[in-house]
Amino acid sequence: MRYVDEYRDPGVLRGQLEEIGKFGFHASFMEVCGTHTMAISRAGLRPLLEGRVDLVSGPGCPVCVTSEADIGKAIALAGLEGVTLATFGDMMRVPGPGGTLSEAASRGAAVKVVYSPLEALRLAREDSDRKVVFLGVGFETTAPAVAASLLTARRDGVSNYFVLSLHKLVPPALRALLDMEDFAIDGFLLPGHVSAVLGARAYSFLAEEYGVPGVVAGFEAADILRALCLLMEMKEGKKASVAIEYTRAVREEGNPKARAVMEEVFAPVDAEWRGLGTIPASGLALREEFRLHDAGAWEVEAPAPAGDRGCRCGDVLCGKIKPMDCPLFARACTPESPVGPCMVSTEGTCASYYLYDFREGEG
């Protein structure tokens, strides 16, 4: 298949691994995106790169970085009379104060799993007697579609459609990581889906202000290895820049139409990230013109965050530890019985390591 088979050719992959092996130094790179984390683990790249490249997972799983307090608010909204909470499936089993959305549904809350915000909007159209709240979780990849659903609702007068916006922005998180005293990596494997919207220019500050290189990569094994080669070349030449490996989907300027829709509906606000704390201008809130559709403005009583349960998901998201370094990993915390969100999401680092990188008796 064009644009797929050539990225899975074993000969190409062997050649790329040999090219990386020719560099006479070790490097540590952070893959920002949770989809990259899963792709790297599924392809078995970590052991193949051992001794040359250490791949460190970052805060690129939107479910994982959602704060416990925000999860508690979502659960509280789901419990309101006359409210249906529509959510992506990944959020159903994320532990929060008062349990999970799945547990709330078992107690009688109206929680519906949807595959897009437009499906949530359809639920609102079909039952005008209920308030339908879409749980807006995601990065710049999903925010434009949520914005489009709100524009459609306003245009068509669907007054019972609401959004709880917990969206996050990737560039401010990278800046927050680089400002940490103990953060030391040689470059970033930058997200492909987010960058299709933002474009590569959004990361120019990495090289210009911090002297750290970045490469926007696709999701096939050959994409990832080629991006790592580019990062190794930059490290060897001591010349940082931001490059695009994923040229078949990402442009320097990104997708101006998607960004325009997102900016029409949302405005940047300070947001709390699991593991990173509150990061200035790293979240998206509905603009005043859309206040009538803003479930975030509702006053609800939510249980206080439970605090430390021994889960070190926050440290995993910052690249401070690997999943196996958490005392709960593969013991008290498994995909069947997760303690933290990093073990729940299909993009979660702990789930990825558990499925592909961990062997019984390790850790």
CA torsion through residues 32, 244, 194, 286, sign: positive
User: What are the CA-CA distances from residue 315 to residues 39, 56, 281, 363 (Å)?
Assistant: 21, 12, 22, 16
Residue pLDDT tens, the chain, 363 long: 456 667 777 788 899 999 999 999 999 999 999 999 999 999 999 999 999 999 999 999 999 999 999 999 999 999 999 999 999 999 999 988 888 999 999 999 999 999 999 999 999 999 999 999 999 999 999 999 999 999 999 999 999 999 999 999 999 999 999 999 989 999 999 999 999 999 999 999 999 999 999 999 999 999 999 999 999 999 999 999 999 999 999 999 999 999 999 999 999 999 999 999 999 999 999 999 999 999 999 999 888 787 667 899 999 999 999 999 999 999 999 999 999 999 998 889 999 999 998 865 554
Residue 187 CA to residue 51 CA, distance in Å, equals 17
Answer whether residue 83 is part of any domain: yes
The residue among 209, 146, 199 whose CA lies nearest residue 170 is: 199
Answer whether residue 363 is part of any domain: no
User: What are the CA-CA distances from residue 299 to residues 74, 80, 103, 164 (Å)?
Assistant: 12, 11, 22, 12
| Predicted local confidence at residue 301, as pLDDT | 86
Q: What is the 8-class DSSP label of residue 28?
A: E
| Predicted local confidence at residue 363, as pLDDT | 47
Return the ∠ at Cα 350 (arms to 360 and 6), rounded to 5°: 95
Query: What residues have CB less than 8 Å from 2, skipping those under 6 apart?
Result: none
Q: What is the 8-class DSSP label of residue 6?
A: G
Q: What is the CA radius of gyration of the chain?
A: 21
What is the residue range of 150's domain? 1-357
Counted domains in the chain: 1
277 conformational bin, left if phi > 0, alpha if psi -120 to 50, beta if neither: left
Answer whether residue 124 is part of any domain: yes
Residue 275 CA to residue 282 CA, distance in Å, equals 14
106 conformational bin, left if phi > 0, alpha if psi -120 to 50, beta if neither: alpha
Reading the block at residue 15, the tokens are 């050649």
Angle between helices 143-156 and 117-126 (to 10 degrees): 20
Cβ distance 83 to 112 under 8 Å? Answer: no
| Predicted local confidence at residue 307, as pLDDT | 67
| Predicted local confidence at residue 310, as pLDDT | 87
Q: What is the 8-class DSSP label of residue 357?
A: I
Give me the residues paired with residue 66 across strands. Answer: 273
Answer whether residue 18 is part of any domain: yes
Answer whether residue 244 is part of any domain: yes
Q: What backbone torsions phi and psi does residue 167 show, to the nearest 5 degrees?
A: -65, 150
Answer whether residue 362 is part of any domain: no
Answer whether residue 139 is part of any domain: yes
Cβ distance 355 to 44 under 8 Å? Answer: no
Residue 74: give its domain's CATH number. Answer: 3.40.50.11740
Answer whether residue 36 is part of any domain: yes
